[in-house]
């Protein structure tokens, strides 16, 4: 078994990318992001588009949306799904904290709390500056954020299984979890196994989530030239300052 110290931006590679779709229990509702893009206007950019949810659904709807992801393996899956569905898609292999695209956008969004995968405030600040640089003046950004809860003790060690494209059995479990309230991080050690032709393989990787009090995130956004327009729950209702899930709508000043 291999224990890997992957960088956070490289977590979704190799066996993790292979396991992503088979183990997935939740998909973002494309209608939410289609509505945002229609309201904000195109062209639009999804950060952390992964293997194509909701990017491909938006492209199927005819929206002018491109994708960015730090995992070449996830983007390869996205391109294969697009080909199979007969949808054309433009995706870029970049980290959102080091964005450098030739185009500017009217709308930039993340579908779900992928921004929490950035490991610290400095990396988040770099990503927010990149978002600002890639927005046209007056353009909008939509960034969902959450404060993760500690995983209940009885879920540690529980194994979930799924079947890979080639019929191999995939196994997934949470080995351990550490929480640091000062750094505002929760790091889970996740174990992925593959049992198929070629013998069993197993990898353990840390999966880090970093969270923000509302005021801290608003300050980081303001320092990047992004004004907070609203902070809501996923249904668009106003939320308390200490809500566990917040959707930030930002405008390029
Ligand atoms: C939870 S997945 C979400 C994928 C897809 N949007 C979905 O909902 O199925 C998060 C994605 O963000 C990507 N990611 C993580 N850190 C990133 C970074 N720093 N820059 C760009 N993409 C990143 C991962 O490679 C992964 O594909």
Residues 152-194: pLDDT tens digits? 999 999 999 999 989 999 999 999 999 999 999 999 999 999 9
226 lies in a domain? yes
pLDDT surpasses 70 at 4 = no
Structural domain tally of the chain? Answer: 2
Nearest in space to 189 (alpha carbons), one of 179, 197, 200? 179
Mean pLDDT of 112-126: 98
Domain extent, residue 56, equals 8-146+212-252
Which residue's C-alpha comes closest to atom 13 of ligand 1? Answer: 48
Predicted local confidence at residue 197, as pLDDT: 87
Q: Which atom of ligand 1 approaches the CA of 17 most closely?
A: 27
Specify whether 54 is located in the same domain as 107: yes
Q: Are residues 95 and 176 in the same domain?
A: no
At residue 85, the pLDDT reads 96
pLDDT of residue 63: 98
Report if residue 40 sits inside a domain: yes
Average pLDDT over residues 138-142: 98
Residue 131 and residue 168 in one domain = no
The 10s digit of each residue's pLDDT in 14-66 is 999 999 999 998 888 999 999 999 999 999 999 999 999 999 999 999 999 99
CATH number, residue 32: 3.40.50.150
Q: Is the dihedral of CA 83, 84, 86, 89 positive or negative?
A: negative
pLDDT score recorded for residue 26: 85
pLDDT at residue 97, as a whole number: 98
Are residues 89 and 160 located together in one domain of the fold? no
What atom of ligand 1 comes closest to residue 13's alpha carbon? 25
- pLDDT at 1 > cutoff 90: no
Phi-psi region of 188 (alpha: psi -120 to 50; beta: other; left: phi over 0): beta
Q: What pLDDT band is residue 3 in, cutting at 50, 70 and 90?
A: low
Phi and psi at residue 236, to the nearest 5°: 90, 5
Same domain as 111, residue 15: yes
Question: Length of the chain in residues, anyone?
Answer: 253
Ligand 1 centre to CA of 49 (Å) is 6
Same domain, 45 and 132: yes
Give the nearest ligand 1 atom to 52 CA: 5
pLDDT of residue 248: 98
- Domain identity same for 217 and 237: yes
Name every protein residue with a CB atom under 6 angstroms from any ligand 1 atom: 9, 12, 28, 47-50, 53, 68-71, 74, 95-97, 111-112, 114, 117-118
Residues 6+ apart with CB under 8 A from 133: 99
Give this prediction's pTM: 0.96
Angle at 47 between CA 237 and CA 50, to 5 degrees: 110
Residues 75 and 175 in one domain: no
Are residues 60 and 112 both part of a single domain? yes
């Amino acid at each position: 078994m291999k224990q890997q110290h992957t960088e956070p931006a490289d977590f979704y590679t190799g066996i993790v990318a292979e396991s992503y779709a088979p183990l997935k229990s939740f998909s973002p509702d494309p209608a939410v992001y289609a509505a945002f893009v229609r309201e904000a206007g195109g062209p639009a950019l999804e950060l952390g588009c992964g293997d194509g949810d909701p990017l491909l659904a938006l492209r199927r709807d005819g929206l002018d949306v491109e994708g960015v992801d730090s995992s070449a393996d996830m983007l390869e899956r996205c391109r294969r799904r697009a080909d199979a569905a007969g949808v054309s898609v433009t995706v870029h292999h970049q980290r959102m904290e080091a964005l450098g695209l030739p185009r500017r956008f009217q709308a930039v969004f993340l579908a779900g709390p992928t921004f929490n995968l950035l490991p610290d405030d400095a990396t988040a600040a770099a990503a927010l500056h990149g978002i600002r640089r890639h927005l046209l003046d007056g353009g909008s950004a939509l960034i969902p954020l959450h404060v993760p809860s500690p995983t209940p003790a009885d879920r540690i060690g529980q194994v979930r299984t799924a079947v890979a494209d080639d019929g191999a059995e995939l196994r997934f479990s949470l080995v351990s979890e550490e929480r640091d309230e000062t750094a505002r991080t929760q790091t889970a050690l996740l174990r992925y196994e593959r049992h198929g032709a070629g013998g069993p393989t197993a990898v353990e990787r840390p999966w880090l989530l970093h969270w923000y009090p509302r005021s801290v995130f608003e300050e980081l956004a303001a320092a990047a030239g992004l004004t907070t327009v609203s902070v809501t729950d996923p249904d668009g209702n106003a939320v308390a300052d200490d809500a566990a899930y917040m959707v930030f709508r930002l405008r390029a000043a």
